Amino acid sequence: MPHLSETSPRVRPLVAMLIALAVASAAAGGDLLARHYLGPRREYQAISGWLLAVLAIVQIGLAWLAWRDRLPMPPTVWLRSRWPLLFAGPVVCYLLVAAAGSDRYVRYLFRPALAGWYTAILAAVVLPGVMDHRWMALFRRREMRIAANALCIVLIVGASAELLLRVAAGLRGEQAHISLAVESCRLPPGKQIGGRTVNSLGYLDDEFLATRSTAVLRVAVLGDEAVLVSTAGDDFLTQLERRWPKLDLLNFAVPGTGPREYVATVRRDVMRFDPDLVLAVISIGDDVTTRLSLPGGFDWRTLQLARVGRSWLGDAANAKPNDDLASTAATDREAYLRQAAQRLMVCRTPQDDRLHRRWRDTYDHLTELWQTCRRHNVRLALVLAPSEGQLDPRLRQTLCNRLGWSGDEVDVSLPQRRITAFAREREIAVIDLLPHLRRQGETPFAANGHAWNGRGNRVAAEAIGGWLKAQFPGHLEPAAIATRPIQTRTR
């Protein structure tokens, strides 16, 4: 058997490529297997790791054959004639994995798919005799090679266009996976919910008018279920507009969202309606402790080209919205207590590393929201909506008993102080509803839920209305008639 130094020099780059590919495959497979067996087990993780291990063995075998045998043509000549296959590999593998489903863990299949693609290409170089078999005659035809090369070039052009669109979206501050999640949470246009009709943009409000009067104060309201759900059928937005005829409230609330999604909503929809103020309702318990699940990187709907195609095709091709507005009331007492305990986590001291990370993320998203509003010369105000455990001492004691906490471990006003301090550094206005709701003798929440009842909505309307009147005295005067100059909110 010849020594490597005796082997044709044209073989050595091929051997080096195969060995490098084998090392990369073995390292990637070992990483996936270690994560699977030593940490939380994810779907597709183990099978991807074992596939990579097998491919690494195959690649070592091909390197051995390339080192042992003299090839009929220089590998560089073959690779130069097949360059579209080399560059199209990542695109083809991405499309194959994306076709497997939108599961976020399907991403693990991309590594073995890519390793298998390049293994097949290099195997054709090391084993050229394989192409001489009769069953490969179709692939040897000139027409087939031309079609394959043309398809690869189309894929490369598409990948380049996708890259350019992503760069442009990044410069605008857009994130496709977050925008897709917001679109999926919106309500179906035209649906009747609580006596109101969802508008064409998927928000529970009348159609938003692009034109406006300077005499009217236009306020864009962001939030989640706390803004959308009212057990009394008379939410605080309606109460505010009924009292102040020159107040035009645009309800951009989307169920299940938080500060991260508020940024995407402001960039995509809010600013084109030229608001004077963005009012973000921060549900203290939910917005810090929980986050909306985002689509994975291999969900084809996150592609910029797919988004452009959906915009051309219209609403029928857009992300499927929520079929109904999920109720914030728990189905039973036990489920309600579990949710309330989760929301009380923000008040615990000291806080663990996970909650510290969530607070950092919350600060980052609120900073991004503030910077977006500032770039458009629009004021931002935060409305802090407390959770049930912050207002009900008996419920708080029940939750502490269930969680094994002592009373000293709960600081009721801690999250409000943290966000207020954060906002003060950036000169962001804060409307803290905790002291207003605490003064009420009865609970402001619906039974076994964190939606505001009639009393909670009334207190919120009074607190927010008082702040608006102090900040914009020229616009807000008590109503003399029950109609509005621009539009009437249907209830």
| 156-182 pLDDT tens trace | 888 888 788 777 777 766 676 677 777
**What is the DSSP-derived secondary structure letter of residue 209?**
P
Residues 210, 96 share a domain: no
Residues 435, 349 share a domain: yes
Residues 377, 242 share a domain: yes
List the CATH number of the domain containing 409.
Answer: 3.40.50.1110
Residues 422, 284 share a domain: yes
The DSSP H or E segment spanning 250 is strand 247-251
- Low-confidence stretches of the chain (pLDDT < 70) are 1-11, 69-83, 101-103, 128-141, 145, 172-174, 176-177, 229-233, 296, 310-331, 441, 448, 475-491
Alpha-carbon distance of 405 to 333, in angstroms, equals 20
Flag whether 249 is in a domain: yes
Residues 204, 107 share a domain: no
Residue 321 confidence (pLDDT): 61
Yes or no: say if 174 and 264 are a contact pair by the CB < 8 Å rule. Answer: yes
Backbone angles phi, psi at 217, to 5 degrees: -90, 115
Yes or no: say if 469 and 480 are a contact pair by the CB < 8 Å rule. Answer: no
Residue 179 confidence (pLDDT): 75
| Model pTM score | 0.72
Alpha-carbon distance of 460 to 239, in angstroms, equals 10
Flag whether 306 is in a domain: no
Flag whether 482 is in a domain: no
Residues 462, 349 share a domain: yes
In the structure encoding, which two tokens stand for residue 18, read together?
């195969």
Alpha-carbon distance of 97 to 110, in angstroms, equals 6
Residues 437, 342 share a domain: yes
Domains in the chain, number: 2
Going from the C-alpha of 76 to that of each of 17, 20, 129, 490, the distances in angstroms are 12, 17, 17, 71
**What is the DSSP-derived secondary structure letter of residue 270?**
G
> What is the extent of the structural domain holding 273?
181-301+318-471
Classify strands 379-385 and 247-251 as parallel, antiparallel or unpaired: unpaired
**What is the DSSP-derived secondary structure letter of residue 481?**
S
Residue 54 confidence (pLDDT): 94
- Secondary structure class of 432 (helix, strand, coil): strand
Query: What spatial distance separates the first Cα and last Cα of the chain, rounded to whole Å?
Result: 87
Residue 484 confidence (pLDDT): 41
Residues 228, 79 share a domain: no
Rg (CA), the chain: 30
* Side-chain half-sphere CA neighbours of 75 within 13 A: 23
Residue 422 confidence (pLDDT): 95
Residue 81 confidence (pLDDT): 60
Residues 212, 85 share a domain: no
Backbone angles phi, psi at 291, to 5 degrees: -140, 150
Residue 128 confidence (pLDDT): 67
Flag whether 488 is in a domain: no
Question: At residue 116, what is the residue type?
Answer: G
In the structure encoding, which two tokens stand for residue 242, read together?
């009924």
Residues 454, 332 share a domain: yes
Alpha-carbon distance of 166 to 181, in angstroms, equals 17
Residues 396, 270 share a domain: yes
* Side-chain half-sphere CA neighbours of 358 within 13 A: 19
Task: Return the exposure string of 454-490: e unless at least 16 CB atoms fall within 10 Å of the residue's CB, then b.
Answer: bbbbbbbbebbbebbbeebeebbeeeeeeebeebebe
The DSSP H or E segment spanning 139 is helix 137-140
Residue 102 confidence (pLDDT): 61
Yes or no: say if 419 and 382 are a contact pair by the CB < 8 Å rule. Answer: yes
Residues 230, 348 share a domain: yes
Yes or no: say if 32 and 107 are a contact pair by the CB < 8 Å rule. Answer: no
Flag whether 480 is in a domain: no
